[in-house]
């Protein structure tokens, strides 16, 4: 009997995992750069969630609870390495979480459907910013290589990347995928 | 966002070298919202840039296998396993901590499999459909309880004067306890192994993992046992290298991004008459941990790795510059082989390190 219950729990949990994998990967990729660490933290977050499933109020959304676990593991990861990046500031984490909740409210059954506008925003980017962002995120080029390719200084390349992300954020806000500061207040 | 916060974020997201240390910078003004927007966009772009549907499925499959294994582990739990609040059928606290840091010896096998995957996926003479079929075959084979035995041989040591100067002298002068040359490594599937190595004092040290607990003992001492599967991998040359072994599926992307893979035209015939082909993986940058070059020889017919040379191992904690792992056996080991009971006489004292 117990065995059947455990199997059922596992099946239910697998559904939750499938529904939240993309969201959690984006969350971790927002806070951590090292891909192998991201994979580890993904696995640890899900395992902790499984271990503590009895603590989860399933009448409430699973995503924020899962991100809460993940954020604690991310903090522990950086603490071990004696790193305290600005992205871990409580106010930043709170604002990130709010953005994820806003995305969750978008129309669509899957994560891809909810953030579909991102592709449109990338297409609308000015050519220069689009070039560096595609080089960095789609071709996995390091910043120095990108700078050489676009005949920029290293610092100018970083600025262009940063500017490109800001333009994308504005576009996503216009399309309602990301929330605005005004909407918060 | 303030210029200071903007620069700080730009360094964090875009500097080529990952920071090795740092402190929380002061959050100025209303920066938290714009920082959150920027890192979310970074996360979204990183995700779609690396998105791979097959990888997503593998990740979930690997996770559910772990959860299933953890559940089984609890069924066999002892009074030493501390129960978790609110999780009556689950893990001991340390069992969930499945960080996949591993000694270079074991990781080499994973690297080898990944390098082969890279070859199969990118090789010019394979069409996409055949490559995907082969990839699935290799990944499923890596997860199968398939036994392999390797002999470890030191090919080259670092000269004493080539050790890094930035290490404290006590670390530079520390002598590795194990004689890794001549060690034997047995591997089954993705997370079971036994390593037999001689110590400089002439005693044998045996360590291993049966997928549920890890353990280690010297031939004259008690067995140390832990639910942390990585607990006893220290002290082996290369153990500081973050190359994964236990769960190859969840780390393909890291290895994919870290090594340039090239198929050479070289072939060799092994002593058993098998013709093996050479693949070479070269680390993309010095910022990546792991050996500089991985040179492996494999049987093209069935994908079995026969020889792996790891060259340019990190020098931080001593150990050789180059190691060779050679396949010496593929015979099936007993079901209990990866449990410590199979390697010592009955009645040996066992110390559970997870016991509070």
| Contact across the interface for A82 and B21, Cβ inside 8 Å | yes
Interface membership of B2 toward A (CB under 8 Å): no
Q: B158 — phi, psi (to 5°)?
A: -75, 140
Instruction: DSSP letter for B156, please.
Output: E
Does residue B34 fall inside a structural domain? Answer: no
Question: Any idea which residue has 């832990």 for tokens?
Answer: B226
pLDDT at B335: 82
| Contact across the interface for A54 and B46, Cβ inside 8 Å | no
Tokens of B166: 């930035």
Domain that holds residue B205: 104-352
| Contact across the interface for B12 and A86, Cβ inside 8 Å | yes
ipTM of the complex: 0.95
Mean pLDDT computed over every residue of chain B: 67
Question: Any idea which residue has 């924020």 for tokens?
Answer: A64
Cα–Cα dist B92/B73, whole Å: 9
Tokens of B240: 């500081």
Cα–Cα dist B150/B241, whole Å: 20
Tokens of B347: 């009645």
Q: How many H helices and E strands in chain A? A: 10, 0
pLDDT at A23: 96
pLDDT at A45: 93
Q: Is the dihedral angle over the CA atoms B260, B265, B270, B272 positive or is it negative?
A: positive
| Contact across the interface for B42 and A165, Cβ inside 8 Å | yes
Residue A108 — pLDDT band, cuts 50, 70, 90?
A: confident
SS3 B163: coil
Cα–Cα dist A125/A120, whole Å: 9
Q: B108 — phi, psi (to 5°)?
A: -55, -35
Pick the most confident of A45-49, A181-185, B300-304. A45-49
- Total domain count, chain B: 1
Residue A139 — pLDDT band, cuts 50, 70, 90?
A: confident
Tokens of A171: 């576009």
pLDDT at A182: 56
Residue A122 — pLDDT band, cuts 50, 70, 90?
A: very high
pLDDT at A84: 78
What residues of chain A lie within 8 A of the CB of B36, using their CB? 92, 95-96, 98-99
Does residue B247 fall inside a structural domain? Answer: yes
pLDDT at A31: 94
Angle at B227 between CA B221 and CA B230, to 5 degrees: 80
Other Cβ atoms closer than 10 A to A113? 10
pLDDT at B38: 93
Cα–Cα dist A113/A141, whole Å: 27
Question: In terms of Cα–Cα distance, which of B239, B205, B237 is closest to B222?
Answer: B205
Model pLDDT for residues B325-337, shown as the tens digit of each residue: 888 888 888 888 9
Does residue B39 fall inside a structural domain? Answer: no
Model pLDDT for residues B136-188, shown as the tens digit of each residue: 444 555 555 678 888 888 888 776 555 544 444 544 454 555 677 888 888 87
Q: Is the pLDDT of residue A21 over 80?
A: yes
Tokens of B231: 């607990």
- Largest Cα–Cα distance of chain B, in whole Å? 71
CATH of the domain at B182: 2.50.20.10
- Write the CB contacts of A61 (distance below 8 Å, at least 6 apart in sequence): A101, A104
From A105's Cα to the closest Cα of chain B, the distance in A is 16
In chain B, beta strands by DSSP E: 147-156, 178-188, 192-199, 204-209, 214-218, 223-226, 259-269, 275-283, 293-298, 305-311, 322-329, 350-352
Does residue B151 fall inside a structural domain? Answer: yes
Cα B97 from chain centre: 15
Tokens of B145: 């309880």
Residue A109, judged by CB atoms within 10 A of its CB (0-12, 13-18, 19+), counts as exposed
Interface of B with A in 4-43 (CB under 8 A): 5-6, 8-16, 18-25, 27, 30, 32-43
The domains located in chain A, with CATH, are: 1-108 (1.10.1740.10), 116-185 (1.10.10.10)
Q: How crowded is the C-beta side of B27, counted as CA atoms within 13 Å?
A: 17
pLDDT at A65: 93
More confident: A29 or B198: A29
Residue stretches of chain B with pLDDT short of 50: 20-22, 74-104, 106, 118-138, 164-168, 170-172, 174, 235-254, 356
Chain B residue with the nearest C-alpha to that of A48: B96
More confident: B170 or A126: A126
SS3 B273: coil
Tokens of B3: 């210029």
Interface of B with A in 115-144 (CB under 8 A): none
Does residue B301 fall inside a structural domain? Answer: yes
pLDDT at B99: 35
């Amino acid at each position: 009997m117990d065995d059947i219950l455990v199997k059922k729990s596992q099946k239910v949990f697998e559904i939750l995992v499938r529904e939240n994998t993309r969201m959690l990967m984006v969350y971790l990729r927002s806070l951590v750069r090292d891909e192998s660490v991201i994979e580890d933290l993904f696995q640890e977050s899900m395992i902790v969630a499984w271990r503590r499933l009895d603590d989860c109020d399933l009448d409430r959304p699973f995503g924020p609870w899962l991100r809460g676990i993940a954020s604690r593991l991310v903090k522990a990861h950086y603490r071990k390495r004696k790193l305290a990046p600005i992205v871990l500031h409580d106010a930043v984490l709170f604002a990130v979480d709010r953005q994820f909740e806003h995305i969750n409210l978008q129309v669509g059954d899957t994560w891809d459907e909810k953030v579909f506008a991102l592709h449109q925003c990338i297409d609308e980017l000015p050519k220069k910013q689009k070039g560096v962002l595609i080089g960095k995120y789609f071709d996995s080029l390091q910043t120095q290589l990108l700078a050489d390719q676009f005949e920029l200084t290293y610092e100018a390349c970083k600025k262009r990347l940063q500017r490109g992300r800001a333009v994308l954020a504005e576009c996503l806000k216009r399309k309602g995928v990301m929330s605005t500061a005004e909407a918060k207040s | 966002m303030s210029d200071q916060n903007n620069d700080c974020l730009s360094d964090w997201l875009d500097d080529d070298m990952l920071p090795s240390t740092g402190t929380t910078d002061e959050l100025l003004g209303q920066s938290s919202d714009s920082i959150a927007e920027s890192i979310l966009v970074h996360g979204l772009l990183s995700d779609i840039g690396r998105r791979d549907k097959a990888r997503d499925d593998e990740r979930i499959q690997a996770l559910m296998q772990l959860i299933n294994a953890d559940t089984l582990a609890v069924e066999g739990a002892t009074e030493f396993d501390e129960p978790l609040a609110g999780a009556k059928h689950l893990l001991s606290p340390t069992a969930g901590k499945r960080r996949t840091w591993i000694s270079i010896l074991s990781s080499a096998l994973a690297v080898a499999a990944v390098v082969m995957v890279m070859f199969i996926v990118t090789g010019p003479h394979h069409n996409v459909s055949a490559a995907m079929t082969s990839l699935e075959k290799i990944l499923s084979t890596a997860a199968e309880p398939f036994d392999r035995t390797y002999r470890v041989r030191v090919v080259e040591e670092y000269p004493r004067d080539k050790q890094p100067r930035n290490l404290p002298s006590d670390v530079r002068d520390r002598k590795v306890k194990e004689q890794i040359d001549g060690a034997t490594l047995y591997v089954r599937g993705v997370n079971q192994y036994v390593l037999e190595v001689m110590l400089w004092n002439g005693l044998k040290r045996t360590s291993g993992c049966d997928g549920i607990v890890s353990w280690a003992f010297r031939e004259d001492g008690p067995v140390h046992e832990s639910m942390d599967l990585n607990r006893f991998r220290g002290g082996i040359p290369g153990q500081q290298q973050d190359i994964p072994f236990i769960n190859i599926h969840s780390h393909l992307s890291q290895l994919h991004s870290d090594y340039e893979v090239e198929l050479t035209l070289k072939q060799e015939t092994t002593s058993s008459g098998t013709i093996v082909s050479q693949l070479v993986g070269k680390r993309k940058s010095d910022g990546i941990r792991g050996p500089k070059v991985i040179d492996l020889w494999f049987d093209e017919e069935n994908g079995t790795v026969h020889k792996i040379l790891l060259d340019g191992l990190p020098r931080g904690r001593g150990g050789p510059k180059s190691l060779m792992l050679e396949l010496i056996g593929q015979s099936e080991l007993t079901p209990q082989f990866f449990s410590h009971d199979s390697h010592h006489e009955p009645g040996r004292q066992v110390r559970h390190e997870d016991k509070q």
